[in-house]
Structure formats: C-alpha cells, structure tokens
Amino acid sequence: MAQIHDEKETAALRFFENVVDDSYTTFNYVKEWKKELGRKALGYFPVYFPEEIAHALNMIPVNLLGASGRLPLDIATAHTQSFVCSITKSVFQLASQNLLEHFEALIFSNICDVARNLSGIMKRNFKGKYHIDYIHYPINNTSKSAVNYLEEEYRRVVEGLEAVTKVNLDDDRLREAVQLYNRKRRLLNRLLEIRHESPWLLPYHEYYMAVRAAQFMPVELFLESGERFIQAVLARGLRPADRVRVMVFGDFCEQPPIMFMKTIEDAGCYIVWDEALVGARWIGDVSPDSSSPLRALAEAYVKNPTPLTVRYHPSVDKHKHMLGMIKRTRAEGVIFITPKFCEPALYDYIIYKHILDREGIPYLHLEYEESTSSFEHVRTMVETFAESIMFD
Ligand code: SF4
C-alpha cells in the first residue's frame, strides 16, 4: 500500500514540477492541451481573474507569472521605468520574445498603477497579435452599484472573448464551470489546510509546485492529479520537527524564487500559511445555482469579506483578519516578503505591522525580486528571527 502511495506521489509531484518548469518561458504543455482539448488559451495577469468565464468559452485560463528570472529583461527595461516590479517587465519580455505565441487573448486589470500601465504598453506594442483587454474592477466595493457595474464589465470582456473563440457564453456552461472551479478552490484550500495542520507532511516547495501548476493546467486535469497528490501526502508517515510556525504575507502577485521560500523553511520555520497565488482560491465558493452565473461571479468578488491586497474594501477589517489568521494557524510570527517596488504589498505591510506591534507579535520584513539568486542574507535573518521566537 505504502508503495502505491509513493508512486502516486512521485508521479504527481514530477508532473507538477514539469508543468511549472515549462511555464517559465516555453508553454509547451499549454500548446499540447490546446490541441488535445480543442481549446484556445487566455493568459491573465495576476492577481485574480474569473477563470470560469474562460473555461465556459472553451479556453484554458493561464496565470501569467513571468519568467521567474529565466530571461534577461533587456527589451522590457527599454520600454518601462526603472522603478517598476520585475513581473511586469518579465511578462512584457515574454511577449516581446514571442514566447506567448500560444495565447490568443491576454487580460490585465487595475490591481495597481504599474499593472494598469502594462496593459497600455502591451496594447500599443502587440496590437493585432493578441486580443488584449482590461478589467476595471470596482474601486468602491461598498457602493450599491458595484455588483451591477462589475457584471457589466464582465459582460463587455465576454463579448470580446466571444469574438476570439466564436463561442457564445451559455449560462449552463458557465454554471458547470463555476462548479468545477469551486472544486479547484476547495482543493487548493485543502492543500493549505495540510500546511496549518501538519506542515511536516508537505514541505513548502512541494505545496508550491502543486499550487503553481494549478495556474496553468486545465481544471479537470488539475483536479485529478491534485486529489491523487493529497491522498499520497496524507499517507506519509513523517514526524514533526522542532520549528517555528510562521505566516508569510506579500507574495500575492510577483513570485519569489522557490529557493527563497525553501530557505525560510530550512532556516527553522514551517510556513503554515502564505499569500502565494492567493487569487486562485481567494474568492471561495461561488453560487452555482444563481439565475445569472455571471452576476454570481461579480457578487462573489464585491462581497467577499476576506481581504485581498489589490482590492480596496473599506468595510474589511485587516487587523481583525490578521489576528484571526494567527489564531487559526497557531502562527508564532509573521514574515512579510515584499517584491521590490510593489506599493500594494508595502501598504499592507504598514497596516499589518501596526497591529502586530500593538499585540507584541514578532515579525520580519524581507524584500525580493523574481530573479533574486543569493539567499544567504535570507537564511541569516530568518535563523535569527526563528531563534528569537524559540528562545523567548
Ligand atoms: S508585484 Fe505589486 S506592483 Fe507589481 S504588478 Fe503586482 S501588485 Fe503591482
């Protein structure tokens, strides 16, 4: 029995690793899946996109996470300011080198000024090559008009995509897609729960490979491999080590190198929760029974009480959220990792730091870029941080 679990686990993990590796610059899996499933590909810039819409229009939604340090950013650097984050440059560089050729449509949104400008630069430089669109999410999510507005915005985006796919959006297909993506979000949350409950069963880098692969894979395929992977992980007979439990905030958009996160764990921590690729699970369960599934998606975005750094929501209390998460995950400290030049991540750091200072909860702040390649300072700082908690 143990051997069967080992085989399942190794096969699923290897598959996730291959998919992630391919997603940095080549996207050969996307090309193969398009052919096999007869779908088109939609690339969207993080943090969130209602992937159900793409699925219902016979497209594979793919989160554009940049090249993670695998490309020189020379062309992008010539087109952008020097003080912007790396993921925006990296996505532009991918398009400039024709590495997004398998995608028919690219979607951006107003998560921050930099992403907003990227959309304009992409349109100007790649007009006619891709269908490029932009979702302007509501700024005032407490307004009575916010849901109506976002539903209309989604409808406009759908019309553009219908012209690309020659498929009309059908409510029944969208309801089916909502059900499939609800399952995907539950599965991602289940992986995260394993990290709260028994992080020694699932090292962070394995967790991350599964979650990152989910950003590229057709949903049905991820559900199948993800479920097999979870079964195998739960069957592992591993024992806990003496490490400090930490939550990590700030990696919701540009992704840190996996070695950066691995160094945090190796320096004496268990990462029991983090914001990596949070957009894929943040919205939770969307009602599949609504008479208008498009409206249900808009409602889920506007009314979700969970904070998301790139959504301003005056009625969401981030201090309460932070303390609730610390209690739920039994975290002993918080590590903020902010991408260089990322204003939204730094704004959140200031908000969260205030409550941690007040409650006397230890925290540490580190900065990264997707191409960071030296981790010695990370190891030293995290070791000191973990020891200060352990021997307090
Ligand atoms: S990393 Fe930060 S600054 Fe860069 S696009 Fe994402 S949210 Fe905007």
Per-residue pLDDT, averaged over 323-347, amounts to 97
Q: How many independent structural domains does the chain possess? A: 1
Q: Give yes or no for residue 254 CB within 6 A of ligand 1.
A: yes
In a domain, 200, yes or no: no
In a domain, 218, yes or no: no
In a domain, 162, yes or no: yes
Select from 48, 111, 255, 336 the residue to mutate for testing ligand 1; criterion: most ligand atoms less than 8 Å from CB. Answer: 111
> Domain span at residue 101?
2-172
CATH number of the CATH domain containing 59? 3.40.50.11890
Q: Give yes or no for residue 13 CB within 6 A of ligand 1.
A: no
In a domain, 334, yes or no: no
Q: Give yes or no for residue 188 CB within 6 A of ligand 1.
A: no
**HSE of 302 in the Cβ direction (CA atoms, 13 Å)?**
24
pLDDT above 50 for 365: yes
Per-residue pLDDT, averaged over 278-297, amounts to 95
Do residues 378 and 366 lie in contact, with contact meaning Cβ atoms separated by under 8 Å?
yes
Select from 86, 110, 116, 254 the residue to mutate for testing ligand 1; criterion: most ligand atoms less than 8 Å from CB. Answer: 254
Ligand 1: which residue has its CA nearest to atom 3?
342
Mean residue pLDDT of the chain comes to 95
How far, in Å, is the centroid of ligand 1 from the Cα of 342?
Answer: 5
Measured CA to CA, the distance from residue 287 to residue 139 in angstroms comes to 23
**H or E segment and range at residue 27:** none
In a domain, 76, yes or no: yes
In a domain, 43, yes or no: yes
- What is the tens place of the pLDDT at every residue in 187-244? 999 999 999 999 999 999 999 999 999 999 999 999 999 999 999 999 999 999 999 9
- Answer yes or no: pTM beyond 0.75: yes
How far, in Å, is the centroid of ligand 1 from the Cα of 124?
Answer: 20
Main-chain dihedrals φ then ψ at residue 134, nearest 5 degrees: -140, 130
For tokens 């498929």, the residue is: 167
In a domain, 152, yes or no: yes
Exposed/middle/buried for 302, CB within 10 Å: 0-12, 13-18, 19+? buried
Q: Give yes or no for residue 342 CB within 6 A of ligand 1.
A: yes
DSSP class of residue 199? G
Cα–Cα nearest to 192, from 174, 162, 214: 214
In a domain, 386, yes or no: no
| pLDDT (0 to 100) of residue 5 | 55
pLDDT above 50 for 1: no
- What is the tens place of the pLDDT at every residue in 101-111? 999 999 999 99
Encode burial over 351-376: b for 16+ CB neighbours within 10 A, e otherwise: ebbebbeeeebbbbebbbbbbbeebe
What share of the chain has pLDDT > 70, as a percent? 98
